Each structure stands twice: as C-alpha cells, then as structure tokens.
Structure 1
Amino acid sequence: MSQPPQPPPGAPTEFGPPPAAFGPVVPPMPTAPPTSVSLPKVRRARQWPAFALIAVGIALVLGSGTVYLTSGGAGAKGGPTAGAAEGTSKGAGSGEQGPPPEGKLLFHQFAPKAISATDRVAGEWATDKVYAKAGFKDITGYDRASGAQLWKLPLPTPECATTLQSTADGVTVIAYDDEKKPTFEGTGVCSNIAAFNITTGKMLWHTSTPVYGISADGTGDAHLFVQEIAISGGTAAAGSATDGGAAWDIATGKLLWKPTAGADNCRDDGYAGGPALVAVRRCGDVDRPSLSVQTLDPATGQPLSTYKVSSAFRDVHVLSSKPLVIGGYPGGDSSGAKVSDIYSVDATGKELAHITIPDEKYAIDCKLEVGTCLGPLAGGGKLFLPTAEHANVSPDVPGHTNEFVAFDLATGQPAPGRVDAGDGGKLFPIRMDGDNVIALRTPPVYGHGEVVRIEGATMKKTVLMQLPNDDKVFNRAIEIYDYRNDDLLYDRGRLYVGDRLMDKSDDEIDGPHYLISVLGTT
C-alpha cells in the first residue's frame, strides 16, 4: 500500500457519457409502475409460523450488510440519513399516546425471469430523489415519490459485488463479471469495477481490476477477484479475501493501491467502510497467520492506526469501522460465521474492552468477507446486539421471540435496559440513526410488524411505522425472500425491500415475484 498511486489502464481523464459497451441510459418511462395492491397470482400468501419468522426476520437484516454495520451514525458518509419526520413518531412501547403511523405498499416491480438456475440481482441505493435497484445486467432508478422509472443503466454482464455505501454526492461503486473469462456455470470472473451516479444513472468510469502475481513487483496474468466493496472518504476499496485488495479514487477512477508480493508475505483480507476505512491485514504462514486491523487513510492506504490481533484468531471481522469494533472466534472457523469474542479499539489502536459472548446466544451471522456480519451495530459508546430466538413467555403463542441489548464499549459490561420483541415477534437491527438504532420487529402470527427506533441512551422504543398485515400486500412482498437473499433499506420514512437472487425453479413453480417492494405512510 506504500506504492504511489497509478492510473488504471484505460481510465478516463474526464467524465462523459456512459461507455459505448454499456449502451445509452434509457430515458424515463411515460408511466409509473402500478401502485395498486391488486396483484396477479404470485407466491402463495401465508401466515407467519415460527420457522418463517426466524428465516424472514434474519433475512431482512441484510440491507445492513456493510454500510450500516460499519457506520456510526446516519449522518456519516456512505449511509442514507433518517428523515426529520421520524423523530416525531409516537407508538407502542414509547411511553407516548397515539397510534403509530400505518404503512402500506406504495409501489413495486416484478422481477424478470431467471436465465440461469440462479441469477444475482443484488444491490439497492437511495438518495433524496431516487431509489435505484440492480436487475439482471442493468440498474434502474425510480422516482422515490411515485415509483416512475427515471433511468436505466445497462451493464455488459451481471453485477457480482455491490455495497450499500455511497459518497456524499451520491456516487456508488459496483463490480461486474468479465466477459472474456467465463468460469463455472457460465459466469465470469468478478474483475470489472465501475462508478455511477445514483441520482442520474450516469456511468462515471469503469476499469478492470489490477493483475497480481507472486513476483516482487506484483505482476501476473490473473485479475483481482472482487468479493466485497467498501466506500469511505471518496475511496472505494475492493477485497478478495485470498489475493489482497485494491482501491480507486471514486471521483476519477484513479488506482490508489493494488496487491503486492513482498518478503513479509502480507496482504489485505478485505475492508469495511462508512465513516472510516478499515482493513484486516494478514501476514506470514497460512496456517499460523499474524493478523492486524488497520484504520487507513482513504486517499493513500497508509495506516493511521494498527491493532494487533491475538494469535488465537485465524480470521476476524470488522463489526463497526467507527467506533472500531472487531469480532472473531478463537481457533478459526472454516465458514467464518462464528463470533464469540468482541473487542473495542480506540483511534490509536489501543484495545478498550473485551466482550465475551456465549456461542450462539446472540443473533450474529458472518461470512468469510471482512464486512459481512449481520446483527451488531455500534454508536454512542455502545455495542447493540439482538439475542438469538428463544421460546415465548406465553407457551400458547405460536412462534419465538428475542430481545435487543447493549454493551458499554469502554468497559465491556452490559449496559442497562433492554427491548423485548414480545411473544411471537423478533427484533433485528437495520442501521444506526445517530446514537440510536433503527430496527425491524417482525410480525407475530396474529399482529403487525413494525419499524422502530431504539434510543441508545435509554433503550426506549418508538414505533416509526406499523407494517401492513395483509396477505395480499406485506406477506407477498417479503415471503419470497430467503436467508441472505434480499436487500433492506430504511430511509426517510420508507422501507425498501429488494430481491438479491432470482431462482429459475421458483419462477417455474410459483410464477413472477417481486424485485422491489416499497412501503411507507405516504
């Protein structure tokens, strides 16, 4: 990361129209998509049995993905901000009088038919004017008020990596497959990077990822395979887990750093973004690696602070970039899914507290990538965690329930207060809103789901929006989403649910299903 910045091959010198390979941006459609809830036959409507509550409840957290897990507040760069109207809501559990605002399905779009056995359509973003959603080989921007299509950006191949993060001026970065290097099942190597403006749909630049190799100068004939993208401070960093990382200046497409092979045999496993850019760096022997977590200068990649990870860990995850919170499982875990030990770290790289949590007591789910953990959120000096599901207080109520708790990041001790989801419901965090938490309470078998705000200081719950409990609306909007197969955003009083994976076999059995569903009060 100490090499001086070099421009990527073919990087543009100025912004212009989308490259010819992508095709023109499609002009606005003359009409808005249907807003009526009179729907064709799609997937079978159903009640909310216990197993569905568990699967859907966990799945809906996916929109927290990277941006909210690594963001200390709604005002941080790279994360949507909460609307002012959210602070005036009243509802159950808040200690205030008055019914909570009732949400409804505002607009939706059905997904195209899957071409392969499964086709990836992950990625969604929101600005004050536009909601954008990735489809199959394209990204479409919708007017966030009416749902009318504003633009469509064609892609030469399917996208293969996205982030919910964006710059302060509404630019985000995606990765898409290389047309020239097909791999298994007809998909390509995830080695192309592009930046586009979310409001206008304009492609700003695109380039191939750098090559890497075993020689000292880093040369080779294989392009970096992108597995995750993190955005912070005008920089987009791409991690590959096994081959090191690279980063670009989002405004210009200039390559800032790329993988290098040195005598110390070090590489970046991946990155977490948001208000800070954090790398997990791995050095030495594969079986006995030396790990460190570094807060980077986004412009140069140079470490601003370094935290040395205990030798007991073979992999660690960044649960929050600012405040810096990391988690891992001693001894390693081949899936990278477990977290039993959590550490808070200050701005100098000094460890503040060690929080030990019983295995599987909390709803924390991680994959191999650095910034993929779902569940933990941090802000206001606290770490917020949902507990794992457990039996209801009342044995007569179907389903399971959980709670939402907090830990002090300075001491590692449990913080006072907790929020109960109530029999049959479950709480899962979506994102931070300043020092507070925005969370989803999944609906019990007989009742409504809710979007709620939990005050970080007091753990008091306020209902921001009551979700519809109509099989023709809300259940159909989310019943097709499976574990980790959806995106979720809550922004300016609206809940955006987007599909991530199209399944050909499901299409053939159940017919068309939702690509996007947008719920709100107005």
Structure 2
Amino acid sequence: MSTWPARTPGYGYPQAPSGPGYGYPGQPGQQPQPPAGPGYGYPGQPGQPGPYGQQTAYGQQPGQPGPYGQQTAYGQQPGYGSPGQPGGQPGFPAQGYPGQPTVPMYPQPAGGGRKSNAQLWIIVAAVVAIALIVGGGVWYANSADGGKKNETASTGGTGGKGGGEKGGDTGGTSSGGSEKAPSDPASKLLFQIPSPKVAKDDSVIVSGSWLTEKAYVKSGVAEIVGYDPVKGSKLWTVKLPGPVCTASEHATDDGKTAVVFQPKMPPKDSSAGCSQVAAIDLVAGKQLWTKTVSSGDYPVTFDNVTVSGRTVALGATEGGSAFDIDSGKALWAPKTSDTCYDAGYGGGAKLVAVRKCGSYDARELQIQTIDPASGKVISEYKLAKGIEYASIVSTEPLVVAADVGDSAQDGSGISDFFSIDNKTGKLKTRISAPGEQFAARCDGITRVEHCSGLAVGADRLYLPTEEHDGTGEYSRTNEIVAFDLSTGKQTGQRADAGDGYELTPLRTDGGNVIAYKSAPYDEGGQVVSIDGGSFKQTTLLRNPATESVRDAESSMSPEYSELIYSQGRLYMSAVYADDGGSGDEEYLVLAFGAAG
C-alpha cells in the first residue's frame, strides 16, 4: 500500500504570497498556524465552518455556494477528460501562475532521461495549503517482518464505527493484519519533544518521519534525529547545512531513505533553492552521500523525492533524476532535447513517473511504470488531454488521482481516481469522487506523491466522507466507504465514526485499515483497526483525556501533522516549526504507548 505523506500551493488553493520563506524558497516568511480553537466536537458552536473553511452540511444541496463563492451543484462534473474551465477556480490562476512562461521542456526520455466571506474562505484555504506544502515523508517498517515490508502513513479523514461513550467498539482482534488489540487499549504519553526554536517571524520545514525497529526518526531544523522509540532520548543526529524541503515517504528494506534540503540556512543563500539530495541510513544513523544536478549554470531545484527498490528518484520542472541509494551513482538525469519531462515520481513497491508533455494549456500526462534501476518504461497510461496535474496515490496497486476539468471545486485536487494495470498500462476503472462528498486531498502541482485522508490496499480504495452533523447536539461525524479497484463501484461497506468523532486513515494492515480517531473536546484520540470484511472497529489505542494531554494532541491534527502507528505506539509530529508567537506550548513530536 502506498498513500500520503513539496511544494507549491496545493492544487486549487489560492496562491501564497511570493517571497523567500525560511526553510522553503518562494514561500512567505511566516507560515500561518492552523486555525486556533477548541478541540474537534467542542459544544456550543453550532454552524461553525468545517475543517476546510466551508459549511459542510451532509448532502449539500445543489446551488449552495462553494468555498470560493461559486455554485457547486451536488455531484456535478464536466465530461471525462474535459478541458479546464476558463479562468480556473476563482481566487486561483488557471493552469499555472500569471505571467509564467511555459514550463521548460527538459525532460528525460524513456530509459534514461527522465474580509468578506469570500476573503475568509481564501484565508482558511491558504492555511490548509501551507500545511499541505510543508507535509513530508512518513515511513513505517513493519516490526512483525523485521522491517522487510514498507508501508506509509498519511493524513486525511475517514470514518469508523462509533458506539458508547468512548466512541467505538473495544476488545477483540482484527483479522488479516499484524496489529493486534491489547487487553487494555488505554495509553499514556511516552514522551514529548518541544518544537525547535527559530528566529522571530520565521518558520522552517521539519517534514519527514520514519520508524524502524530501533528508532523513531524525525527531521528537525537542518538535522535528522533518531530517538529511542519508547523514551524519546536522542540516539543519533545527522546535521545538514540547511533545512529539509521534502522527504521520501518510503525507504528500502534495510532502512535507507532520502531527503531534499537547502545548501545553507536562509537567508544566506536562498537562491540555491532545494538543490541538495542526501541518502540517509535510518538504521546506522548516518548520511551516505549528497548530490546535486546541474541545468546549465544553475543547480536543479527538486520538487519531490521518493525511493523504490535501490533507487532515489527526484522530479523537477527540468526533468527527472535518479541515483543509486547505496553508492550515489547517477542513474539518469534531465535531457534538454526532449519534448516531455518527468515531473515527479511515486515510489514504494513500484516506481511510477508522472510525465508531462505539451504546453500548460494543452497538457498531456503520461503515467509510466518504470524499472527503477534503468528507467526503462514497463507500461504507460495516458490521461485525457487538458488534465494539468496528477497525483500518485499508490504504486501497487497503481492508483492515480486527478482533478478532471477543475471540477473538484474544493481545493482537494481530486475529482476522479484512475485504477491502472501496472503490467499493461490499461485503465481498469475510473472512480468519481465529488469534492463535496469526500474529504481526501492531493497536492499534485509539484508533489506528485502527496495525498492524505485515504488508504489503498487489497484491491480497495478507502475514502472518507466529508464531516456532517451527528445525532447529538452540535456533534459532527463522518464515515468511511470502500471502492472496488477492479469495478470502480462501492462495495457497500461503511464504517461510522460516531458522534463527535472523525477518523483519518493511516495505512492498510493486511486487509484492514488502521485509522486515527479524532475525539470530542473532552476525550483523547484513538487508533482503531477497521476490519476489511465486516468493517467492525477494534480499538488499538485510547489516549489520555486529561486536559494538558488533550491540548497537546489536538495541536497535532491529522490535517497538519505526520502520524505513524505501529505495534501499540502512536507517533505524532509537526511538519514545520515557527517562532512560537502564538504563546501556546508547541511540540515537534508526541509519542503514545501502552499505559501498563
């Protein structure tokens, strides 16, 4: 399975102000904080906006204003493959930024060259966009098989079965997965790591988190640190000359991954951009090598990085590049003679390229499964012309998300999912996912491998519904539903979150779904396993309901944070650090585990 967690504003979001940002070039110097306020489900606030700013009454009726003021008829979509709407979405430029020239065509060839109400919506959407911009890689090494199986955690929201005052079923074991429920799911806070300090009015990206058998590894300010997974004490530190820009959410079977970073701390040399890539050994706690790629007289600025097999693959507007993760040997680099270019890659079990051809107003995207060692194309599927951006949701099975004809209308970057046969390149099915119904999100502008709020596994796509009113007074809730990746139809399975609760899928576990359950204001969060057959929930972890712990946990909302759960422990981490101007205690990492 492959989901989730570089970086331009998310597809469909208002453009962030220009200017050098601390930790990521071209971003504003101060990244907005997630909206402040009481925890999810706090009473006494009827009619407050949903998590992305808009009122999210379940089953929104035709003709209701969308988040940017336009009419969003329920389920309305233009025809499959229809071109983008003139002018794009209100508040965001159509198909690219104003005044930008056509993207440079320096691709790789196959096999080797690879405050009115309207103002309020824009502000809230911009906050969400920034959060997506700084999201990073998350790698999970399944301890049950000695770290031989890589899975990724993600952000987003799905539903689960709720019941009783705790909001879910308890006891028992889930079938088909390695995660077993303890006799008592009650947890305690194992450790908390304060957010690193940065200069006033600055923020810095700290995306990237991974879990091995011996360490929880997290990016800090211009460093990557391995922590004891139970105590939180530092085991090792890899220092970097500048802040991390983006990190692979995958690693090799023996725990090697890659990050992209700046060569110096801004503002010393922000013009160099995110031009450095390094391989990191998460087991040994050391940097293996550092590389750059040149385009003329300037280094290439990388937009995304991923790992598949023994290959580190990087996407950029100049084209794709790749290195051997062990030696740092260059496998392929951008070529200036092509008319197409690899914009980015999805990694994990397979290596899949999103290859762009044509100008921005007549774009054709090719989804290519390639050999990670040579870059040779194994299979290819061409999306309909006019689709500007696509996101790799999973490489095995191969699932791609796109906003066809800019019809999502909610900034999610998703109107449709495409289930593709890896071997033949043929389309198996297309799944319609109207933005007003489902809460998953993808940022496909440059980060082609960054989707949240969904899970893929066992020939199923699991999607959350948008939150809606529950049965209790002022309560909100949602559901999770499953789609068959062969037929495109819903399976009829549905899990209810329960009043005051909302679930976020983290990953699949065999045939099951591991999900984080956001709780009402007076409860701690939970981790549950949703059985892939019955959709029955089994509670794996229930966090403390004490006020101080609740406040800390609520600051790590899945929309803005990285979450990893494995074998009875939950790790929640921030994706950026700021100057702490809010006055609230801020954390880089929170870790929860068994209370016994």
TM-score class normalised by the smaller sequence? 0.7 to 0.9
Name the residue aligned to 1:257: 332
Q: What amino acid is aligned across from residue 221 of structure 2 in structure 1? A: F
Q: 1:503 aligns with which of 570, 578, 581?
A: 578
Change in CA separation of 1:52 and 1:452 when aligned onto 2, cut-off 3 Å: farther
Is 1:411 the counterpart of 2:487? The answer is: yes
Is 1:245 the counterpart of 2:328? The answer is: no
2-structure distance, mates of 1:133, 1:61: 18
**CA deviation string 1:144-180 (max 9, x = no partner):** 1322211111111111111232111111111110239
Name the residue aligned to 2:516: 440
The Cα of 1:66 is off from its aligned counterpart by: 5.8
Name the residue aligned to 1:278: 352
1-structure distance, mates of 2:278, 2:531: 38
The Cα of 1:93 is off from its aligned counterpart by: 2.6
Q: 1:386 aligns with which of 464, 478, 503?
A: 464
2-structure distance, mates of 1:444, 1:110: 25
**CA deviation string 1:404-443 (max 9, x = no partner):** 1001111111112211000111111111212221101110
**CA deviation string 1:349-401 (max 9, x = no partner):** 1111111122321011122221111122211111110111111123x1x3411
Alignment of 1:18-37 (within 5 A): none
Moved more, 460-469 or 418-427: 460-469
Aligned length: 453
Q: What amino acid is aligned across from residue 105 of structure 1 in structure 2? A: L
Change in CA separation of 1:188 and 1:119 when aligned onto 2, cut-off 3 Å: farther
The Cα of 1:61 is off from its aligned counterpart by: 10
Alignment of 1:76-475 (within 5 A): 77-79=149-151, 92-93=168-169, 96=172, 100-115=184-199, 117-179=202-264, 186=270, 188-208=272-292, 210-212=293-295, 220-240=296-316, 242-263=317-338, 265-332=339-406, 337-347=412-422, 348-367=424-443, 368=445, 369-394=447-472, 396=473, 398-475=474-551
The Cα of 1:80 is off from its aligned counterpart by: 6.7
Is 1:517 the counterpart of 2:583? The answer is: no
Change in CA separation of 1:357 and 1:328 when aligned onto 2, cut-off 3 Å: same
Is the Cα contact below 8 Å between 1:78 and 1:232 reproduced in 2? no
Name the residue aligned to 1:488: 563
SS of structure 2 residue aligned to 1:279: strand
Give the TM-score taking structure 2 as reference length.
0.69
Change in CA separation of 1:300 and 1:475 when aligned onto 2, cut-off 3 Å: same
Q: Which runs of 5+ in 1 are unaligned?
A: 1-43, 82-90, 213-219
2-structure distance, mates of 1:80, 1:234: 17
2-structure distance, mates of 1:65, 1:459: 29
Is the Cα contact below 8 Å between 2:355 and 2:365 reproduced in 1? yes
The Cα of 1:236 is off from its aligned counterpart by: 1.1
2-structure distance, mates of 1:165, 1:183: 30
Alignment of 1:7-18 (within 5 A): none
The Cα of 1:457 is off from its aligned counterpart by: 2.7
Change in CA separation of 1:363 and 1:403 when aligned onto 2, cut-off 3 Å: same
The Cα of 1:46 is off from its aligned counterpart by: 5.0
The Cα of 1:330 is off from its aligned counterpart by: 1.8
Is the Cα contact below 8 Å between 1:66 and 1:371 reproduced in 2? no
Q: What amino acid is aligned across from residue 398 of structure 2 in structure 1? A: L
Is the Cα contact below 8 Å between 1:64 and 1:489 reproduced in 2? no
Q: Which runs of 5+ in 2 are unaligned?
A: 1-35, 54-127, 154-166, 174-181
The Cα of 1:109 is off from its aligned counterpart by: 1.3
SS of structure 2 residue aligned to 1:415: strand
The Cα of 1:298 is off from its aligned counterpart by: 0.7
Is the Cα contact below 8 Å between 1:161 and 1:174 reproduced in 2? yes
Is the Cα contact below 8 Å between 1:61 and 1:428 reproduced in 2? no
Q: What amino acid is aligned across from residue 570 of structure 2 in structure 1? A: L
Q: When you count strand as a share of all residues, which structure comes out higher?
A: 1
SS of structure 1 residue aligned to 2:227: strand
Q: What amino acid is aligned across from residue 281 of structure 2 in structure 1? A: N
Q: What amino acid is aligned across from residue 502 of structure 1 in structure 2? A: A
